Structure 1
Amino acid sequence: MFCRAGLLLSFVWMAAGLSFLHAQGPARNQAQSRESLQALQLEQQGRFAEAEQAWQQITVQNPRSVQAWAQLGLVRARLEEYPSAIPAYEHALKLDPKLPGLQLDLGLAYFKTGKFREAVLPLRAAATEKPDDAGLKTLLGMSYFGSAQYREAVPYLQASVKASPENLQLRGVLAQSCLYDKQYDCTLEQYKQIITVDPDSVQAHMLAGEAFDGLHRTLEAISEFEQAVKASPKEPNVHFGLGYLLWTQRHYEEAAQQFQQELENDPTHAQAMAYLGDAQIRLGENDAARATLEKAVKLPDTVRIVWLDLGILHAADQQNDEAVADFLHAIEMDPSEVDAHWRLARLYQSMGKKAEAQAEFAKARKLHEETDEGLVRRMSGGHAAPPPQPQQ
């Protein structure tokens, strides 16, 4: 998949070309004190640390100077001191909410500190000032994307793609936003555009595979992931994605091979190790599964299915207390999944705990409506249980 963190980082660098061009302009139209002129001269000479001190002193002498606060934010941003630039910009905006360009500088400072949700409001205000600015639309779309507001991101990213149709990276961000908002046709349209230029794009094949899975076109999803594996067998998550799709089709032996290959690439891949253990249970390889799951439970990102499957193995070995604890742990991680409740109910029933069994059966019946266990959720770290019941 396209790495969201990497994409956002690259767009941060792109944003550098748009930033910090505005606050200085309006200030030049104001009456300048001798101290302000000296501070501006320091900026023009690239002596930003000294300029920061000069503007800081002016804000102390004249705390209602919009220019001083705006320029203080500007030089701090040029020094890449974005967290301290933000309060200076905000102070300037309190003094003059309509100062042209300042909303953009504030939004960019938030963006560059990774505070994408906070960047949205000032960038929206800046976009109102300049509705035809394609760069602003891109930044706003990326801010929505970075804050996981995918539906809001899509129209801005669509406008950006229209303005820069040759930008495959931007198309990838749009495709991923559409995917997370379940706009699968949109994802597939971007996939077609990307693949026309770059037929071996592993990220495009993976995104298309996830979209096909969301549309319940599993065979096409598998085909896309097989092409992704062929194009880049070392790509993070590519073997896990293919393995998970094979696992949903109950091709457990092939799925296990893919999970093992993912673990060769990344021995700490919690999802791959968890589902490998589950596949081994389904293949009747309980000893191998136990060893795999005992490793998986020690990983920091252990997923729910590990505890479910350990409970199954402990119950099969008549280790009832351990099995109860495992199922309860699985339920604690996600109470909405029916399988652990059902397994625990069966276990309580075998232990003669009728009241406890009835309570868990009741919960299982209430939760029986199936949920969408799509690959998008798996790839993003969801902790759902497998559709079929594992063999003991």
Structure 2
Amino acid sequence: MVKQVSMTVGDTFARAMRTWEEGDVAEARRLARQIIESNPTFGGAHYLLGAIALGQAQPRKAAEHLARAVAADPSQPVPRLALGRALEAQDSLNAAVLQYRAILAADPNHAEANARLGELLGRSGKVEEAIHHCRKAIAVNPRHAEALCSLGALLHQRGEDKDAAKYLEGALAQRPDWGAALHNYGLVLRRLGQGERAVAILSGAVELRRDHAGTRANLAGALRDLGRLDEARAQAERAAKLAAGDPSGWMELGLIRNLQGMPEGAAAAFERAVTADPKSVDAHWCLAEARRSLDEKDKAAAHYRKCLELDPADRHGAALGLAQMGAAPTPGKAPDAYVRQLFDDYAEQFDAALVDKLAYRAPRLLAEALARTLDRKSGLDVLDIGCGTGLAAPILRPLAARLDGVDLSSAMVEKARLRGLYDDLTVDALESVLTTRPARYDLIVAADVFVYFGELGPVLAAAAAALRPTGTLAFTVERAEDCASYVLGAKNRYAHAPDYVEARAAEAGFAVALMEPAVTRNDGGVEVPGLVAVLRKG
């Protein structure tokens, strides 16, 4: 590793390396120290002592020797890689990143440096850059287990679980008994709705990492998904006991206790989760919901407000929770971040849950209403707002010369794209799309979308602007009883009074072509009162 050394030093170093590789660590260390006594700056000896210390879980000592090895010959990647590992073991992640970047500055295609950099960038939340480096490592070495595992975990974070599964399967093909890869694979399978397989894989990960609280907590979650609540609770309790300062076990324990009809116990677990991580929006929201279920409104409101403080975009809908209790005015619409998160999480199970469990029939009702009211029944430019997974596309495609879709949820849009029925799909807020496409469409359809809007005036006006002079807007809403305008229901969905819908439609320049009572879905086996409406511009 060092140029122009004496044969005596070179021979001794070669013997030391050979001895180390054969497993005689003590003799290898003795020979390396002998070299350093006569040649203190000999990098190879410092590298060997650093590698030995690293293998014996002495990262500080390892880093001292490896830094000297790097100083002796900064162009060598091997000591830098080892130094990066030693710094990682000391949680000096930024310093480790610098070592890997130094290697890549000289050799951008260095597989191991790319893999380690990808792993560390992923931990720090730099997902896109991390994915780039993992892909570079795999391009050089398609069997690089660490890069495959890291890339799988990163794609899971980004919601690309089918691709994530492929990379994690590749990692496990190289290292079948790798607990971390099994854990990540189990999380992916859970997200893909493969509950039984997820439990099997996560159980294997727990066997390999019996004292890893996070793995047990995720196994508890997978068991909870399957309704195996006693087993889930046992795993969650074990996770909480293993790491009282880790909120994941307490969170799972709270969710399971809630399902088992133990509201006070659930609240107590969520309190522990908040104590473990006071900045966890998830923990504050769960605790707020638990306190609300116990009718402890002041305590619930405090945690809803903490959610809003930590997450002003409000992906949990804390503002809706406050409104439900009368602790704040009812918002004019559900927060975009809440709707996006709701449907991103729901995308894999959406079609089966909506059609099979909730008897969703809004697209069919709209198809029947349009058949009765449209003058032209083909060759239309059509926009499906809040298109979701594209359940309305089969009834709209025969009407359309062009069919566009828009939805807040990227996961839902990807499902819609697979249907192959849309000419264009956009991930955006529907008001944004409507206001930037003036007079572009003949027909706009919103199936079960305006249930996330209370005040309909702005969105109806935006739809009117996007329609041509004789255009049509068709939509469904839930119907409010004994209400002058709209109410926010227990499931964070708005219901509207028919007179209110008519009044707002008229203000936006629409005439009512059809407005009828309808049932668009069930909830808990009970039909939900609704309306189907067709409005004509002008």
TM-score norm. by structure 1 comes to 0.56
Given that 2:214 and 2:249 are in contact with CA atoms closer than 8 Å, whether structure 1 keeps it comes out as: no
For residues 260 and 273 of structure 1, the distance between their equivalents in structure 2, rounded to whole angstroms, comes to 9
Correspondence 1:246 to 2:155 = yes
Correspondence 1:286 to 2:208 = no
| Counterpart residue number, 1:300 | 208
Given that 1:305 and 1:330 are in contact with CA atoms closer than 8 Å, whether structure 2 keeps it comes out as: yes
Question: Which of 328, 332, 337 pairs up with 2:237?
Answer: 328
| Counterpart residue number, 1:346 | 255
Letter of the structure 2 residue corresponding to residue 228 of structure 1: A
Q: 1:284 to 1:178 in 2, by over 3 A?
A: same
Q: 1:133 to 1:322 in 2, by over 3 A?
A: closer
Question: Which of 199, 218, 223 pairs up with 2:132?
Answer: 223
Provide Cα deviations, 1:342-389, integer angstroms capped at 9, x if missing partner: 221232244344554343233112112469xxxxxxxxxxxxxxxx99
Question: Which of 30, 41, 46 pairs up with 1:108?
Answer: 30
How far residue 241 of structure 1 moved from its aligned partner, in angstroms, is: 1.0
For residues 287 and 247 of structure 1, the distance between their equivalents in structure 2, rounded to whole angstroms, comes to 19
User: Which residues in structure 2 correspond to 1:25-40 (within 5 Å)?
Assistant: none
Q: 1:180 to 1:300 in 2, by over 3 A?
A: closer
Q: 1:147 to 1:294 in 2, by over 3 A?
A: closer
For residues 141 and 281 of structure 1, the distance between their equivalents in structure 2, rounded to whole angstroms, comes to 41
State the identity as a percent.
Answer: 23
State which structure, 1 or 2, has the greater radius of gyration over its C-alpha atoms. Answer: 2
Question: Which of 169, 174, 177 pairs up with 1:268?
Answer: 177
2:125 counterpart SS class: coil
Q: Which runs of 5+ in 2 are unaligned?
A: 1-10, 281-340, 350-538
Structure 1, 278-287 or 234-243: larger mean CA deviation: 278-287
Letter of the structure 2 residue corresponding to residue 300 of structure 1: L
Provide Cα deviations, 1:43-91, integer angstroms capped at 9, x if missing partner: xxxxxxxxxxxxxxxxxxxxxxxxxxxxxxxxxx9xx9969xx8xxxxx
1:335 counterpart SS class: coil
| Counterpart residue number, 2:62 | 153
- Greater relative contact order structure (CA < 8 Å, 6+ sep): 1
Provide Cα deviations, 1:298-343, integer angstroms capped at 9, x if missing partner: x534654553344234334443322211212333443332122122
How far residue 222 of structure 1 moved from its aligned partner, in angstroms, is: 0.9
Letter of the structure 1 residue corresponding to residue 224 of structure 2: A
For residues 355 and 251 of structure 1, the distance between their equivalents in structure 2, rounded to whole angstroms, comes to 37
How far residue 108 of structure 1 moved from its aligned partner, in angstroms, is: 1.9
Given that 2:195 and 2:225 are in contact with CA atoms closer than 8 Å, whether structure 1 keeps it comes out as: no
How far residue 273 of structure 1 moved from its aligned partner, in angstroms, is: 2.3
How far residue 189 of structure 1 moved from its aligned partner, in angstroms, is: 4.2
User: Which residues in structure 2 correspond to 1:204-223 (within 5 Å)?
Assistant: 204-223=113-132
| Counterpart residue number, 1:170 | 79
Provide Cα deviations, 1:132-189, integer angstroms capped at 9, x if missing partner: 5545544443344334343443343222222233432122212322343454554444
Letter of the structure 1 residue corresponding to residue 221 of structure 2: I
Structure 1, 308-317 or 130-139: larger mean CA deviation: 130-139
Correspondence 1:142 to 2:58 = no
Given that 1:280 and 1:289 are in contact with CA atoms closer than 8 Å, whether structure 2 keeps it comes out as: yes
Q: 1:137 to 1:370 in 2, by over 3 A?
A: farther
User: Which residues in structure 2 correspond to 1:53-132 (within 5 Å)?
Assistant: 107-108=29-30, 131-132=40-41
Q: 1:352 to 1:227 in 2, by over 3 A?
A: same
Structure 1 or 2: more helix by fraction: 1
| Counterpart residue number, 2:167 | 258
1:165 counterpart SS class: coil
For residues 132 and 259 of structure 1, the distance between their equivalents in structure 2, rounded to whole angstroms, comes to 43
Given that 2:257 and 2:266 are in contact with CA atoms closer than 8 Å, whether structure 1 keeps it comes out as: yes
Structure 1 or 2: more strand by fraction: 2
Given that 2:134 and 2:147 are in contact with CA atoms closer than 8 Å, whether structure 1 keeps it comes out as: yes
Q: Which runs of 5+ in 1 are unaligned?
A: 1-12, 20-76, 87-104, 112-122, 372-387
| Counterpart residue number, 1:10 | none
Q: 1:242 to 1:131 in 2, by over 3 A?
A: same
1:250 counterpart SS class: coil
Residues paired across the two proteins, number: 271
For residues 82 and 14 of structure 2, the distance between their equivalents in structure 1, rounded to whole angstroms, comes to 19
